[in-house]
């Protein structure tokens, strides 16, 4: 086994059989959690800046190691080194460190937009997907159930659009723009009901009641699909673990 193969074994999540890999996983989780602490405060201190920079160095090192061993993970030969930067987790890795290197001058209003980009640091939380078995199971469920979920999402989008068009024409005085109508339809679909915008006419309230009733059914569909897929994934994992124990 060469050094690259050993590095790949270390940086990839383990089931606890490799002590060094387990230590690396827990170390990365700790760095991710600590790097998120500054986001809970409005003020920026020297300590927070140091934490941010040190975390960025760790994340960049991790990214380079994964890029260097991309062929072992993707199994596509030399093409793997070109494909890896465009994989979802690689993009998240880059977004998590990108804000650290953004120069922001508070005196220039045009550069204030870059302050928004600094919120990309929250993407560091998504890095934990690699090290959490529960999150990995959920991701697998969504991947396996993507066809029915896509169908439900399409139905929901069509329903929201239709509801927005209806209410926008039924109550033009209440909803000044189509965006407000679309916002109301989305809130009604999820049965949240903030109450900041609502219909006042009899026809509008009838539309709202129908929208809420249908919304309950539409929202329940993806929940049932994900629950069924989650149970199937758990049974699959239990069968795999039992098979490994027997071997």
* Residue whose structure tokens are 């991947």: 143
If you search the block for the tokens 């996983």, which residue do you land on?
25
Is the distance from CB of 14 to CB of 25 less than 8 angstroms? yes
Instruction: Report the C-alpha gap between 102 and 97 in whole angstroms.
Output: 10
Give the domains, in start order, of the chain with CATH numbers.
Answer: 3-131 (1.20.120.350), 146-246 (1.10.287.70)
Residue written as token pair 């074994």: 9
- Supply the pTM of this predicted model: 0.60
SS3 201: coil
Q: What's the pLDDT at 241?
A: 66
User: Could you tell me which residues come within 8 angstroms of residue 55 by beta carbon, excluding any fewer than 6 positions away?
Assistant: 31, 32, 34, 35, 100, 124
User: How many CB atoms are located within 10 Å of the residue 124 CB?
Assistant: 25
Q: Between 88-97 and 46-68, two packed helices, what is the crossing angle to 10 degrees?
A: 150
Tokens 């024409």 correspond to what residue?
169
Per-residue pLDDT tens listing for the chain (247 residues): 688 888 888 888 766 677 888 888 888 888 888 888 887 787 778 888 888 889 889 889 999 999 999 988 888 888 899 999 998 888 888 877 777 776 554 444 444 444 555 556 666 677 776 776 777 778 788 888 888 888 888 888 888 898 889 988 988 888 888 998 899 888 887 777 777 888 888 888 888 888 888 878 887 888 888 888 888 888 887 776 666 666 5
Rounded-to-5 percentages of helix, strand, coil across the chain = 80, 0, 20
């Amino acid at each position: 086994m060469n050094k690259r193969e050993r590095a790949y074994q270390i940086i990839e999540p383990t089931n606890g059989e490799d002590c060094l890999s387990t230590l690396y996983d827990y170390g990365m989780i700790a760095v991710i959690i600590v790097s998120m602490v500054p986001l809970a405060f409005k003020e920026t201190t020297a300590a927070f800046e140091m934490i941010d920079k040190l975390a960025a160095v760790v994340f960049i090192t991790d990214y380079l190691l994964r890029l260097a061993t991309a062929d072992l993970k993707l199994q596509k030969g030399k093409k793997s080194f070109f494909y890896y930067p465009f994989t979802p987790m690689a993009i998240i890795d880059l977004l998590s460190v990108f804000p650290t290197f953004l120069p922001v001058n508070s005196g220039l209003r045009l550069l204030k937009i870059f302050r928004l980009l600094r919120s990309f640091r929250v993407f560091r939380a998504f890095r934990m997907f690699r090290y959490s078995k529960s999150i990995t199971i959920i991701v697998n469920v969504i991947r396996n159930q993507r066809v029915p979920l896509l169908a439900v999402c399409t139905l929901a989008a069509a329903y929201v659009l239709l509801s927005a068009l209806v209410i926008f024409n039924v109550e033009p005085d209440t909803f000044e723009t189509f965006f407000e109508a679309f916002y109301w339809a989305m809130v009604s679909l999820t049965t949240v009901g903030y109450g900041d915008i609502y219909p006042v006419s009899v026809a509008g309230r009838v539309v709202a009641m129908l929208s809420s009733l249908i919304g309950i059914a539409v929202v329940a569909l993806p929940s049932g699909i994900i629950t069924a897929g989650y149970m199937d994934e758990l049974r699959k994992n239990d069968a795999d673990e039992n098979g490994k124990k027997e071997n």
